[in-house]
């Protein structure tokens, strides 16, 4: 598991980037934490620099929008989903359990492993 | 404030006629380029009305001294100004004169993306360039001040003191540090804006505004309201002098009969029924009357072309009442048209052999000599 930081260090509406096998973005949506691959699948840009809209993040470059729960894009310009990762809270510390295997379609990965604890 | 000598009591100058700038100063693109750098980039420049940018993301782009300056209201509601140039390959970020962005300022070329505070937020492949310090590639900041509801910017690396330049020009003309506050200009609302595209050098417009020798000839409506203007002495000839309304004048309106609106609440009795005019070098004219304020911002575009944006400012209560502003606005709109027509009449002659050495200023125009010297000093080596 990857330690992201204390809950208090990630305010509501903010995001943090951590390094796993690839960069992972962790978001605090009204106290719920979500983790997805940080790099937009449309063009290399950091989704942790993007804007939270409800339970989705909008890429800062071309406004591709990804659902934080499933990793799926809402529409063009992104076509491929990002991976989601399990977030675990232990003693007010936020950890990410990285989903192993890159490039796995979200149809397979997203449903079960992206649940928020 | 009002205890100023009357025009006919002015002492006779030793020499009646003193020179203007030579004609080339109004026609030579190289001199204009020098003015852009030495005057318009070096001094505080009134770029916009603060209310032009009401909400976060609202922006205006303004040409200042040959640079495009981008003014934008941030998410923290503060105004900031930047050079309108992408740090990547130099594309102009915003090409529109005004508008609103949702969240960021994005270059339309390679999508380098900046926050409303100018910081570099994102760029394609930026995360792979580990050696790049984003902090070094934010937009270039331009100094900005807000005063009189106006956004003033300065392109100088070390801007001159705002108090000693802009504010002292205003208080110096009114002869009182506090007087300008009486009109509450920052609280007033734009009731009407008219933009004039004038085919004349900016200095012709300043010089015109400073004198009233022409008033009796080209401004019949204004002279009707302010009879002393027929004597040719502008309010700017004096310190602390407001030109008094004629006895039977109802208000500062195009026919002089209409009463205008209630006196602004802060304007004292000694400023009532008077017209005050202020020039803030190099590009602002402020006209104060009891019930409104007329605020001119000039944007020099070329040696022979100047855009003038003129705002008529009223209390919000007047605007909200739906009152008819037309007679109020029409007076100075006519004055503007009459003045700019005169300036456009002069511009073609500036390159004539007849004007190579310039013209002359009569005694009631001698205060223009200070402006002439200010310009000459600024562009001299």
pLDDT, tens digit, for every residue of B160-209?
999 999 999 999 989 888 899 999 999 999 999 999 999 999 999 999 99
Q: pLDDT higher for B261 or A103?
A: B261
Residue of A41, A43, A60 for testing the chain B interface, max B β-carbons within 10 Å: A60
* Backbone CA torsion sign across B104, B107, B111, B113: negative
Q: Which two tokens stand for residue A92?
A: 């007010």
**Residue A112's CB: how many other CB atoms inside 10 A?**
9
Task: Give the separation between CA A111 and CA A91, rounded to whole angstroms.
Answer: 26
* Tally of helices (H runs) and strands (E runs) in chain A: 1, 9
* Contact call for B121 and A23, based on CB within 8 A: no
* Residue B107 to chain A, least CA–CA distance (Å): 10
The CATH number fitting domain B7-41+164-379, selected from 3.40.50.880, 3.90.380.10, 2.40.320.10, 3.40.640.10: 3.90.380.10
**Strands across the sheet containing B113-115:** B104-106, B113-115, B120-122
B84 CB-near residues (< 8 Å, 6+ apart): B61, B67, B68, B69, B70, B92, B93, B94
Residues 20-59 of A with CB under 8 A from B: 23, 38-39, 43-46, 49-51
Q: Class assignment of domain B45-147? A: mainly beta
Whether A19 contacts chain B with CB within 8 A? no
Instruction: Give me the total of CB pairs closer than 8 Å, taking one residue from chain A and one from chain B.
Output: 34
Residue A4: HSE in the Cβ half-sphere, 13 Å Cα cutoff:
35
pLDDT given at position A111? 35
pLDDT given at position A108? 39
* Contact call for A43 and B126, based on CB within 8 A: no
* Contact call for A60 and B124, based on CB within 8 A: no
Domain range annotation of chain B:
7-41+164-379, 45-147
Residues of B in contact with A38 (CB under 8 A): 127
* Residue B301 to chain A, least CA–CA distance (Å): 34
**CA nearest to A19 within chain B:** B127
A26 CB-near residues (< 8 Å, 6+ apart): A4, A10, A15, A16, A17, A18, A33, A34, A35, A48, A87, A94, A96
B267 CB-near residues (< 8 Å, 6+ apart): B182, B183, B290
Q: Are the C-beta atoms of residues A10 and A28 closer than 8 Å to each other? A: yes
The pair phi, psi for residue A65, each rounded to 5°, is -120, 125
One digit per residue, pLDDT tens: chain B, 381 residues?
444 444 455 555 579 999 999 999 999 999 999 999 999 999 999 999 999 999 999 999 999 999 999 999 999 999 999 999 999 999 999 999 999 999 899 999 999 999 999 999 999 998 888 898 888 999 999 999 999 999 999 999 999 999 999 999 999 989 888 899 999 999 999 999 999 999 999 999 999 999 889 998 999 999 999 988 888 777 667 777 888 999 999 999 999 888 889 999 999 999 999 999 999 999 999 999 999 999 999 999 999 999 999 999 999 999 999 999 999 999 999 999 999 999 999 999 999 999 999 999 999 899 899 999 999 999 998
Residue whose entry in the numeric block shows the structure tokens 């981008």? B70
**CA nearest to B126 within chain A:** A45
The pair phi, psi for residue B153, each rounded to 5°, is -120, 160
pLDDT given at position A104? 47
Largest CA distance in chain B: 77
pLDDT given at position B281? 93
Q: For chain A, how many structural domains are there in total?
A: 1
Q: Which two tokens stand for residue B85?
A: 């140039």
Q: Which two tokens stand for residue B118?
A: 């100018």
The alpha carbon torsion through B259, B264, B265, B269 (nearest 10 deg) reads -70
Domain that holds residue A94: 2-113
Task: Give the separation between CA B40 and CA B365, rounded to whole angstroms.
Answer: 24
Which SS3 state, helix, strand or coil, does residue B325 take? coil
Residues of B in contact with A49 (CB under 8 A): 121-122
Task: Give the separation between CA B198 and CA B207, rounded to whole angstroms.
Answer: 14
Residue B360: HSE in the Cβ half-sphere, 13 Å Cα cutoff:
6
* Contact call for B126 and A38, based on CB within 8 A: no
Mind spelling out the 3-state secondary structure of B149-165?
Answer: CEEEEECCCCCCCHHHH
Residue A15: HSE in the Cβ half-sphere, 13 Å Cα cutoff:
25
pLDDT given at position B1? 40
Residue B200: burial class (beta carbons within 10 Å; 0-12, 13-18, 19+): buried
B13 CB-near residues (< 8 Å, 6+ apart): B363, B366
* Residue B104 to chain A, least CA–CA distance (Å): 8
Q: Write down the ipTM of this complex.
A: 0.73
* Contact call for A51 and B103, based on CB within 8 A: yes
* Contact call for A46 and B111, based on CB within 8 A: no
* Residue B110 to chain A, least CA–CA distance (Å): 9
Residue B340: HSE in the Cβ half-sphere, 13 Å Cα cutoff:
21
Q: What share of chain A is helix, strand, coil (3-state, %, to 5)?
A: 10, 40, 45
Across the interface, which of A45, A49, A50 has its CB nearest the CB of B124? A45
Whether A61 contacts chain B with CB within 8 A? yes
pLDDT tens column, B20-54: 999 999 999 999 999 999 999 999 999 999 999 99
Beta strands in B200-273 (DSSP E): 243-244
Across the interface, which of A44, A60, A61 has its CB nearest the CB of B128? A44
**CA nearest to B125 within chain A:** A44
Residues of B in contact with A25 (CB under 8 A): none
**CA nearest to A43 within chain B:** B124
**Residue A23's CB: how many other CB atoms inside 10 A?**
15
* Contact call for A23 and B127, based on CB within 8 A: yes
* Contact call for A45 and B103, based on CB within 8 A: no
pLDDT given at position B136? 92
Q: Are the C-beta atoms of residues B113 and B137 closer than 8 Å to each other? A: no
pLDDT tens column, A30-83: 989 999 999 999 988 999 999 998 889 999 999 999 999 999 998 889 899 999
């Amino acid at each position: 598991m990857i330690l992201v930081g204390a809950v208090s260090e990630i305010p509501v509406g903010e995001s943090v980037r951590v390094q796993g096998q690839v960069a992972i973005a962790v978001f605090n949506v009204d106290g719920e934490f979500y983790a997805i691959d940080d790099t937009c699948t449309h063009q290399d840009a950091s989704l942790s620099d993007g804007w939270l809209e409800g339970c989705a993040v909008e890429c800062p470059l071309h406004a591709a929008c990804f659902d934080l729960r499933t990793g799926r894009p809402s529409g063009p310009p992104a076509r491929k989903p990002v991976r989601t990762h399990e977030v675990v809270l232990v003693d007010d510390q936020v950890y990410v359990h990285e989903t192993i295997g890159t490039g796995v379609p979200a149809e397979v990965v997203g449903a079960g492993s992206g649940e928020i604890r | 404030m009002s205890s100023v000598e009357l025009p006919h009591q002015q002492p006779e100058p030793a020499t009646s006629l003193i020179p203007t700038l030579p004609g080339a100063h109004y026609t030579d693109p190289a001199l204009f380029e020098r003015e852009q750098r030495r005057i318009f980039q070096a001094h505080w420049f009134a770029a916009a009305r603060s209310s032009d940018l009401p909400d976060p993301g609202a922006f205006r782009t303004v040409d200042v001294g040959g640079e495009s300056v981008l003014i934008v209201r941030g998410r923290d509601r503060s105004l900031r100004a930047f050079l309108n140039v992408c740090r990547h390959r130099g594309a102009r970020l915003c090409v529109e004169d005004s508008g609103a962005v949702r969240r960021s300022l994005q270059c339309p070329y390679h999508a380098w993306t900046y926050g409303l505070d100018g910081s570099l937020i994102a760029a394609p492949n930026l995360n792979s360039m580990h050696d790049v310090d984003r902090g070094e590639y934010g937009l270039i900041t331009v100094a900005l001040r807000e005063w009189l509801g106006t956004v003033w910017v300065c392109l100088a690396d070390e801007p001159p003191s705002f108090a000693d330049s802009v504010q002292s020009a205003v208080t110096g003309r009114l002869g009182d540090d506090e007087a300008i506050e009486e009109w509450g200009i920052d609280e007033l609302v734009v009731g009407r804006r008219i933009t004039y595209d004038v085919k004349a050098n900016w200095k012709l417009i300043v010089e015109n505004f400073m004198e009233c020798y022409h008033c009796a000839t080209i401004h019949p409506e204004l002279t009707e309201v302010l009879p002393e203007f027929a004597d040719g002495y502008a309010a700017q000839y004096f310190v602390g002098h407001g030109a008094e309304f004629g006895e039977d004048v109802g208000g500062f309106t195009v026919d002089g009969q209409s009463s205008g609106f209630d006196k602004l609440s802060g304007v004292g009795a000694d400023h009532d029924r008077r017209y005050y005019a202020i020039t803030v070098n190099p590009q602002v004219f402020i006209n104060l009357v009891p019930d409104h304020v007329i605020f001119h911002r000039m944007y020099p575009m070329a040696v022979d072309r100047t855009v003038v944006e003129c705002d008529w400012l009223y209390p919000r209560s007047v605007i909200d009442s739906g009152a008819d502003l037309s007679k109020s606005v029409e007076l100075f709109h006519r004055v503007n048209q009459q003045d700019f027509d005169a300036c456009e009449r002069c511009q073609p002659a500036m390159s004539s052999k007849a004007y190579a050495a310039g013209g002359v200023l009569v005694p009631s125009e001698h205060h223009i000599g200070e402006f002439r010297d200010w310009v000459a000093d600024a562009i001299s080596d």
